[in-house]
């Protein structure tokens, strides 16, 4: 008997907001904190915590700097983050395929 596709889901990545952060970060070179906050409709504190979890796992890197005189925070996905996201997407596709057959 083969494993059920849900066994391939990663709790760290699968959480809705973290999946959103990773998918957005994978689409661009880097993404600004404010854009993520607005797009995902999160508070700054909630977003910061999700980013910290992903950074601690090595899936994101955080860059702090300035845009003129304004402090900014950007995040970008790491190669490990891209792999984790690809594995999550593969598990989701397997679930959909199983459901559709």
pTM over 0.85, yes/no: yes
Average pLDDT over residues 65-78: 95
Check if the beta carbon of residue 84 is closer than 8 Å to that of residue 59. yes
Count CA atoms within 13 Å of residue 42 on its CB side: 20
Mean pLDDT of 5-34: 94
Full set of structural domains in the chain with CATH: 5-100 (1.10.10.10)
Helix or strand (DSSP H, E) at 65: strand 60-67
């Amino acid at each position: 008997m083969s494993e059920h596709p849900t066994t391939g889901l990663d709790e760290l990545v699968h959480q809705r907001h973290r999946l959103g952060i990773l998918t957005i970060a994978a689409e661009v070179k880097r993404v600004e904190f404010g854009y993520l906050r607005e797009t995902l409709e999160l508070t700054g504190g909630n977003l910061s915590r999700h980013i910290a979890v992903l950074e601690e796992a090595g899936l994101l890197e955080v860059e702090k700097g300035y845009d003129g005189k304004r402090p900014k925070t950007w995040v970008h996905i790491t190669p490990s983050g891209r792999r984790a996201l690809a594995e999550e997407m593969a598990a989701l596709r397997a679930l959909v395929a199983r459901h559709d057959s």
